[in-house]
Chains A and B, each alone.
Chain A
Amino acid sequence: MVDSSGQIFTIDALLALLLITILIGISANTMGIVGDKILEYSSEQSIQRIAGDTADELIKTPGMPENWENYKYFTNIVPGLADIENGTNKFGNILSMRKISSLKKNPELIKRLLPENMDCNLIIYPINTSIPVIDVISKTPLKGDVSVVNRTVLYDYKLIDIYSNIKPDVIHVNGSEYICTHSYTNPYSHKPPDFNSRKSGWLCAAFNIDLEDIKSKDFYILTDPVMSDNTDFHASWILDTPNRIINNSQNFTSNPMLINSIISELSESKNREIFVLHVFIGGDIKHSFNTYIVGVPRGTSAQDVRLDNINPQPAFLIMKLWIK
């Protein structure tokens, strides 16, 4: 008689069971490790992605509505820092200083861009180290995973408004230049300079300032490059109106000059005042310069009125994101 019972408990069957158990254990463990790795990777990617997307949205969009920084109440506003070029619908890669200041005063607005469980801080480091660091949202990150986004941006210190900007150029086309208001009443009319024959002359331009701005801003005249006091040729300037012609000019100085007194003296208290700036420059194009009339909010310190702040400045925008 053949006895077939007892097969199950042989040693090789037990060995096989052992092997199977070990293999299943290892593969389950590996799957667990891989699963954890995937989860960690995707959650890290998702925080990184959220950080990248939030920074992109801040930098590349002007916010909703586009001029949200002018509003008093921020109930339905989505912040954005991109600057809208004057009078157009275009927004480029330049950040607006006004929007940055508004966000700094109301840091809770950033929550509109972030998921509920995340928090962030935002600092702007200008590449020119003489300009102070702008701490837009200052919070300390918690211990744990912090995702950092570093973007290079340009920001425009738009707290300075340029009202007039005279830039000399070599090309001088007959008949297209501005005919100055001094041409009529003055025997010494303002003729433009001729850089080709090195003749000095006047460059003149008319511009407007609203009465509101005259009352709320300080106005300065400054040059680019800064005037040095040791030149042989003394460039000078006149600020007047079409109705009140002034013949006496003033010399430029190396620092921006406050011209509030001249403006209020010339002002006729109309809603919008017209001024004419006349600049006397030499015939040497190498020593020529740009002249600006700028307005800054009243009370701004004179040190903040600098050429750096007129043109867009490059900076690093660093945003750190973490889970609360």
Chain B
Amino acid sequence: MENKGYILGGLSFLLIIPSILLLMVLVDMVNMDESVDTIIKSDNSFYISGDVERNIPIITRQVLKETVDNVISNGNSIPNSRILIKNAVEHRMNDLCANYQNNSGVNIRCVINSVDSASDPFEVEVNSTILVMKGNITYNHIVNQNISILGTDHRNKFSINSNDSNEISDPLPFIKCKKIGGMSIKNARISYGSSLKKYLEGVNGSEIYENASSPYHIKRCPYDPYKSHGNSTKLTTLKNCIDNGYYHESNDGACLLCRLEGRATCNHYGFETFIVPSNEGNQKFIRATCSIDHVIFGNKNFNDSYPGDSVQYYFNNNTAYELFLDNGHRAKYGVPDIK
């Protein structure tokens, strides 16, 4: 056998090994681009999920306003407002997410877990989960947002542009009285006509509520603490509050979502407002049903509708403006025992 070729053959084989190593290094360096690509995709998903998150309050507010407007126009309560609103918001969010999918290829889904009353009665709390998937990057997180039901510029900012389309109205009076007939809206106030008197038929003193009025839009009262309503010498703060149609936080009054269901009281922290009798009539009552909305609309059996004593809060040209408050509400609004 010929042994002559082994050494040279072996040495030339050794030449191949470093070239293989060089090749491996080259291939490795070329593949580094992938990590940069991953970072870009991940940022994109993050920004899209932020966009979707920012749309949730806007869409929820639109849905709330449309739901309230529907209830007001047909006077029918909704059996389960929370579920209905949750489904409506989710439906619109799905449309929005489909847009993102078509435009950027990011697979995004928004699941609304719940819509409920927040600790602030003028807010609604929405809990949702946002899921984003692009290629093999996934990103999901749970978001809790509080959405205000007041018009824009409602807090420290005041704008004379209180455009009707921004504010959400109170659905409860319409659920209770619209079908009776005679209700109208004048100067951002609900005028009940004879409907409220007919609603309260059978209760002592219901005639005083002929042509009564109450606020149409939900606005938070700035005269906080509420005892200051009665602190003025001639109850002018109370008169101003009634004229401006403000709502006050209340343990007994229903929150907005329960009002959509036709309930005047609920377990959640809600709000209340005054329903003031018209002062054109000649009837004088010393006691009548308390002029607070959750008392008047409380219970058809009128177990919840307790009477209040007359409070004359303003005089003008021989007309006395009065409403009826029970002891509890007198104490709440700081109204002294004056007649």
Contact = CB atoms under 8 A, between A and B. Distances in A.
Contacts of A31: 21-22, 25
B188 A162 contact: no
Interface stretch (B84-92, B231-239, B259-267, B325-333): B231-239
Contacts of A174: 187-188
A176 B164 contact: yes
B224 A165 contact: no
Interface in A167-199: 167-181, 183-185, 192
Interface residues of A, number: 58
B223 A206 contact: yes
B12 interface: yes
Contacts of B228: 242, 270, 274
Interface stretch (B60-68, B154-162, B203-211, B287-295): B154-162
B12, B158, B186: residue with the most chain A Cβ atoms closer than 10 Å: B158
Contacts of B163: 171, 173, 176
Contact of B160 (A4, A38, A168): A168
Nearest to B147: A88
A34 B29 contact: yes
B11 interface: yes
A13 interface: yes
A168 B153 CA distance: 12
Nearest to A34: B25
B139 interface: no
A183 B243 contact: yes
Contact of B217 (A16, A28, A176): A176
A181 B240 CA distance: 6
Interface in A117-169: 162-169
Contacts of A24: 14, 18
The 7 closest A-B pairs by CB, nearest first: A205-B158, A175-B188, A169-B161, A27-B18, A176-B162, A175-B187, A206-B222
A223 B29 CA distance: 61
A133 to B, nearest CB: 29
Interface in A11-62: 12-13, 16-17, 19-20, 23-24, 26-28, 30-31, 34, 38
A178 B7 CA distance: 104
Contacts of B187: 174-175
B160 A208 contact: no
B224 A272 contact: yes
A317 interface: no
B196 to A, nearest CB: 20
Contact of B18 (A7, A23, A163): A23
A243 B18 contact: no
B300 to A, nearest CB: 31
Contact of A178 (B15, B120, B158): B158
Contacts of B233: 243
B146 interface: yes
B3 interface: yes
| B interface majority secondary structure | mixed
A183 B236 CA distance: 10
Given A88-B146, A90-B145, A242-B232, A184 B314 contact: yes
A179 B155 contact: no
Contacts of A166: 158-160
Contacts of B299: none
17 contacts: A13-B8, A17-B11, A19-B15, A28-B18, A31-B22, A34-B29, A38-B29, A90-B145, A167-B158, A167-B159, A173-B162, A184-B236, A205-B158, A207-B156, A242-B236, A270-B228, A274-B237
A8 interface: yes
B11 A270 contact: no
Interface in B233-289: 233, 236-237, 239-240, 243-244
A192 B160 contact: yes
Nearest to A165: B157
A271 B21 CA distance: 79
A171 B242 CA distance: 24
B4 interface: yes
A162 B236 contact: no
Given A174-B187, A175-B188, A176-B167, A243 B160 contact: no
A179 B240 contact: yes
B225 to A, nearest CB: 6
A234 to B, nearest CB: 20
A274 B223 contact: yes
B144 interface: yes
Interface string A231-249: 0000000000011000000
A12 B240 CA distance: 112
B142 to A, nearest CB: 12
A296 to B, nearest CB: 15
A20 B14 CA distance: 7
B134 interface: no
Given A28-B18, A87-B146, 11 more contacts: A16-B11, A27-B22, A89-B146, A162-B157, A165-B157, A169-B159, A175-B186, A176-B163, A242-B236, A243-B232, A272-B225
B18 A88 contact: no
A174 B161 CA distance: 10
A163 B158 CA distance: 10
A88 B145 contact: yes
Contacts of B145: 88-90
A86 interface: yes
A177 B219 CA distance: 11
B156 A27 contact: no
A144 to B, nearest CB: 25
B276 to A, nearest CB: 14
Contact of B3 (A4, A90, A175, A176): A4
